[in-house]
Structure 1
Amino acid sequence: MLSITGVSRSFGEVRALDDVSLEIASGEFFALLGPSGCGKTTLLRIIAGFEAPDSGTVTLDGSDLLGVPPNKRPINLMFQSYALFPHLSVEKNIGYGLAREGLPKAEIRRRVSEVLDTVGLGAVANRRPHQLSGGQRQRVALARAIVKRPRLLLLDEPLSALDRQVRAEMQIELKRLQHEVGITFVVVTHDQEEAMSLADRIAVLEAGTVRQVAPPVELYARPADRFVAGFVGSNNILPAETAVRLGLVPAGTTSLLTVRPENVRVGDGAGTLTGTVLDTVFHGGSSRIAVGVDGLAEPILATRPGAPTVSVGDEVRVSWAPEDAVLVPA
């Protein structure tokens, strides 16, 4: 549905986007994931029409978007700050865009009522934003965005203002809402957990370039390069010489060896590497163990269910199944 081809954008000496190409399908929940300054918000603003690329094309259903002003695009952008009108009720905030379009009052009331039911805000329709919780304000902003029935909804860090528990609830709510209304969602986030829990596919950006586009499970299990391996979730990234020494790759290989912490076994039996426990952290349902190994700059991290069974200072062996090790280009 949305095709981005060869898009580049520079701000002075800074190249925010460098030849970015993406295809986003109709009805898809798509995430742009990356660290601050990677270009994801610039790309979102280009899609919305608030920024023009230096080169490249953006089409929606085959039609050129770049020549269309923001208010004429079948696209809505939900801002990180929500940008609600403090003097208007929930109902009037949601219906504001429809009123500006000059729709009949009866049509506005019907559509606003439908959306209030969808987001579960019927009981607070007459309240002002300051009388709502953070999660409720987020729902109002969402309702205002979807009531206009855009082909595409852009969300810029939509959950960053919420506390951890409300954010987890809203992740479920966002996914449900997207399926229910059938609108294509594109979300910008630096939060890997948020992207992994929400998106059908994720594009990982770094320094203005797309490093990998894949569904969450593939992105986690088969990172395309060192950046993705280190950015998406925790990972142990071992140098090529260690992989060669362990007999996992032939001599001369320059690829890095990556192993997820949950796939690392720690014990005093036979193991791949010998090291000393540097730290243990109990998270409630699981424990994180850091093991220092001579010759490695970073400790090996292991995650196991339950409380730690080793102590700081213990000499242990760490190992993993060969099929759990993934090679990535150095």
Structure 2
Amino acid sequence: MTAPPVETPPLLAVEGVGRAFGDVTALDDVTLDIRQGEFFALLGPSGCGKTTLLRILAGFEHPDRGSVTLDGADLLATPPHKRPVNLMFQSYALFPHMSVAKNIAYGLEREKIPRAEVKSRVAEVLETVGLAEHADRRPHQLSGGQRQRVALARAIVKRPRLLLLDEPLSALDKKVRAGMQLELKRLQNEVGITFIVVTHDQEEAMSLADRIAVFDRGRVLQVDPPVALYERPRTRFVADFVGDNNLFSGTARPDGLEAPMLGLLPARPGPDDGSPAALAVRPERVKLGAPGTGLLNGTVVDVGFYGGVSHLVVQVPGHETPVLVATQGPSQVQVGAPVGMAWSAGDAVLVPQDE
């Protein structure tokens, strides 16, 4: 008989962490496990507590309660400068008077690492981030994406167990940001360091992370890989925050949601029968048809086209917010056209109405 696999203990364990600033609760009983080599994202709106947690991991804040262990050792008892943790700031914080190579070497030199080893490690990391040809340039001679790579190189050259990134791509324009998302993921795979990224950008989190923790008002609402988070949200907040969604309020039934003025809308089983619930269905799961042939009827009030996808906005009588529909290719439906809409039960999720 084959023995069951032994579960590897997490690299980082956050248990019951709480932090308040006066009357404001920044973190409320936060518990997370993060694995070795994982790219983990803390996602949520501004003020939800994700940056406070990052600062606790870095040693710039101390929790009011709870524990944080790294490889089983108490991280909170270790002074910030002795933690095998590096934080890459949103502003990059490069020294303008130093060359790229000197910026990267600075932390190693402060630790009195032998000169030959510093030179070797700087050269190695410059190759890794693709900046070997720019070693002698100053930060002002680089593009935004290149400066971001320098900041990353400076962070990983010290070979931390954990690299913390606070909104690392927010200063870049959209096109550069998309390229740097791929670069970050490649770099993380190559160096094998555990990355924890704080972001309010759901697209960034979905593109980068192996798993995502969604925060709201200091609490962790859900931790899952991107696909599971997108397809199976567990709360109304997560359903609404992660990607576009159509939300309907009503009463849970075994085969869907009983929505006032709309009737029974099909969905996978969720909350107990008779309890207040919300149905979430993604725009790409909604199918258009002739009026009177679907679950809902409405009128198209707007049509947009980008990214190879048509995005339609449909006003439905009896429903406060328009229904969003996404279809591949240019739409054949014009503004003002009456349409029917439908989806299968397996394409919709029921979540509790109140979190």
Please tell me the TM-score bracket, short chain as reference. Answer: over 0.9
**Letter paired with 1:37:** G
Match 1:164 to one of 174, 178, 181: 174
Equivalent of 1:36 in 40, 43, 46: 46
Taking the TM superposition and a 5 Å limit, the aligned residue runs for 1:109-120 are 109-120=119-130
Residues 1:287 and 2:318 are matched in the alignment: no
- Contact 1:275–1:293 under 8 Å retained in 2: yes
The code of the aligned residue for 1:275 comes to: G
What is the DSSP-based 3-state SS (H/G/I as helix, E as strand, rest coil) of the residue aligned with 2:302? Answer: strand
**In 1: Cα distance, 2:275 partner to 2:27 partner:** 32
Q: Deviations over 1:205-264 (max 9, x none)?
A: 000000000000000000010000000000001112593222537972422111000001
The one-letter code matched in structure 2 to 1:10 is A
TM-score, with normalisation over the residues of structure 1?
Answer: 0.98
Deviation at 1:309, TM superposition (A): 1.5
Q: Which residue matches 1:139?
A: 149
Q: What TM-score do the two structures reach when normalised by structure 2?
A: 0.91
Partner amino acid, structure 2, of 1:170? M
Q: Which residue of 2 aligns with 1:193?
A: 203
- Structure 1 portions without partners, runs of 5+: none
Structure 1 stretches of 4+ with a deviation exceeding 6 A read none
Q: Which moved more, 1:260-269 or 1:218-227?
A: 260-269
**Judging changes above 3 Å, is the alpha-carbon distance between structure 1 residues 67 and 224 closer, same or farther for their aligned structure 2 residues?**
same
Separation (CA, whole Å) in 1 of partners of 2:204 and 2:176 = 12
Q: Distance in 2 between matches of 1:220 and 1:255?
A: 18
Equivalent in the alignment of 1:71: 81
By percentage of residues, which structure has more helix? Answer: 1
Tell me which residue corresponds to 1:307.
Answer: 330
What's the CA shift string for 1:263-318, capped at 9, x where partnerless? 01122162110111111111141111011111111111000111122122111101
Structure-to-structure mapping, 1:1-330, within 5 angstroms? 1-240=11-250, 243-244=257-258, 245-246=263-264, 248=266, 252-268=274-290, 270-330=293-353
Q: Please give the alpha-carbon distance, in whole angstroms, between the structure 2 residues aligned to 1:62 and 1:150.
A: 16
Structure 2 stretches lacking a partner, 5+ long: 1-10
Q: Matched residue pairs, number?
A: 330
Root-mean-square deviation (CA, aligned residues, Å) is 1.3
| Letter paired with 1:246 | L
Matched residue type, 2:133? A
Instruction: State the SS of the aligned residue for 1:130.
Output: helix
Measure how far apart 1:158 and its partner are. 0.3
Q: 2:5 — aligned with what?
A: none
